[in-house]
Amino acid sequence: MIENFWCVTASADHAARGLVEGIVQACHGKAAPLQRMRPGDGVVIYAPRETRMGGAPFQAFAAIGRIAPGAAWQADMGGGFLPWRRRVRWEPSHPAPIRPLLDQLAFLRGHQSWGMAFRYGLCRIPQQDFQMIARAMGAEQAFALAEDAPY
């Protein structure tokens, strides 16, 4: 049973790398955000831009899946950068632009600017929002029976 649903903010190129490697990083590699996640939790990546150092606006949900069993660990990226990571079972999906969902996502309500919800790099989102995002990404079947299905 999925208990928590998370939205990670990362660039589209980082989301693509995470898909290939079967991992997620959050908040520039900090441990604490990933340690709050539990196996089976739902996770979606929102990508505001194409690349970390700027690039063109992307403004879409780029990847969706479930946290896999196992604890967070540190990876050596060289140059002294040791980001924390979690394994994720990513589901087949396609990017979903955020603009058509803005008026429907509860976790964005109450912000003067909807982009403020993503400024910390990780936020918990309601199950209904996660399922709406999954539908927009073409991954609704993967989460339709999420309450009963093993991760």
Superfamily of domain 5-139: ph1033 like domains (3.10.590.10)
Q: Is the pLDDT of residue 117 over 90?
A: no
Domain ranges of the chain: 5-139
Instruction: Give 5's pLDDT tier (boundaries 50, 70, 90).
Output: very high
- Could you tell me the sign of the dihedral formed by the alpha carbons of 19, 72, 42, 113, in that order? negative
Strand partners, 102: none
Residue 9 pLDDT exceeds 90:
yes
How far apart CA 143 and CA 5 sit, in angstroms, is 12
Q: Which of 41, 5, 46 is nearest to 130 (CA)?
A: 5
Q: What is the reported pLDDT for 55?
A: 84
